[in-house]
Every structure is written in structure tokens, then in C-alpha cells.
């Protein structure tokens, strides 16, 4: 197993403190929008709700309501054929920020791009170099 950056250069990740894996940090600032900031809810009045709900399934704003947002961590993983990488988000993002991870498992030669949905009431702002999770390397010991 080895880790590469976006330019294909081998890099070393810091060992995680609380899990047997490696820390994953953001490579750029990001804002994960809250679902309540969707344009569908702007200026909505309870009396207008029946009118707004007409064409509910075709509403372009609602189609993106719970679309996951991809976070760029600038990391590519090269694994042995019997390994996979499991991404585990930090507890702060899940419990306090109300972010839900959509994809968790990455294979060899994949770029690690965690995707989150914000179920909180506020936008979540994350700065570059913020630790967002831990990548664990799972080795398959099963003989076929």
C-alpha cells in the first residue's frame, strides 16, 4: 500500500491517534450546504405550500436537495490486490455538524473523494488541512 498526491508523487500520511489508520485532511476550503438553504425553501409561506408542491417530482431544486457533496482530499491509494481502504469520518462531523457519509470503501488506484450530505440546519465550513477522517486499510485473509 502507498499513498499518492494529485500529482502522482508518493506521500506519507500521519498515523491516526484513535484508530489504526491514517489521518485524511482536506486539500481546499469547502462549504457543505444545508438542505434548508435549498432554493425550494426560499421565501416559502405555509399558504403557498400546495401551489409549490404542484410538479413536486419535476422541481429541479428538489432533485438536488440531498445530493452529496464531494470533498477533495488530494489522495490516491495504491493497494495490494487483497486490500481495500475504508474511510471513517471524524466524530465531530457526524455528531455535531450532522454530516452523513455516503461512500466509505475505496479500492486500489482510486482517488479518495469522501461524499457527505448535510442534514443540519446550518452550512458547514471546513478549512484546508482540517482532519476529516481516518483511512483504514483492510487486508482480506480469506482463502478461496
Q: Domains in the chain, please, with CATH?
A: 2-38+67-139 (2.70.40.10)
Query: What's the half-sphere exposure (Cβ side, CA atoms, 13 Å) at 59?
Result: 15
Query: Rounded to two decimals, what is the model's pTM?
Result: 0.82
CA-based nearest residue to 138, from 88, 89, 85: 85
Query: So what's the pLDDT on residue 28?
Result: 94
17 vs 143, residue with greater confidence: 17
Band the pLDDT of 78: cuts 50, 70, 90.
very high
Query: So what's the pLDDT on residue 143?
Result: 64
Query: So what's the pLDDT on residue 60?
Result: 79
- Calculate the CA 108 to chain-centre distance: 18
Band the pLDDT of 136: cuts 50, 70, 90.
very high
Query: So what's the pLDDT on residue 142?
Result: 66
What number of H helices and E strands is found in the chain? 3, 13
Amino acid at each position: 500500500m502507498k499513498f499518492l498526491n494529485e500529482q502522482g508523487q508518493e506521500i506519507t500520511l500521519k498515523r491516526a491517534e484513535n484508530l489504526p489508520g491514517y489521518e485524511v485532511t482536506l486539500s481546499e476550503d469547502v462549504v457543505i450546504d444545508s438542505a434548508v438553504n435549498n432554493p425550494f425553501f426560499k421565501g416559502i409561506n405555509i399558504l403557498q405550500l400546495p401551489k409549490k408542491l404542484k410538479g413536486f417530482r419535476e422541481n429541479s431544486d428538489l432533485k438536488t436537495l440531498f445530493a452529496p457533496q464531494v470533498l477533495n482530499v488530494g489522495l490516491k491509494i495504491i493497494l495490494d490486490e487483497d486490500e481495500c481502504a475504508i474511510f471513517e469520518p471524524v466524530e465531530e462531523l457526524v455528531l455535531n455538524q450532522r454530516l452523513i457519509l455516503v461512500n466509505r470503501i475505496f479500492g486500489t488506484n482510486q482517488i479518495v473523494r469522501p461524499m457527505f450530505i448535510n442534514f443540519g440546519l446550518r452550512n458547514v465550513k471546513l478549512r484546508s488541512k482540517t482532519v476529516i477522517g481516518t483511512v483504514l486499510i483492510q487486508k482480506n485473509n480469506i482463502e478461496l
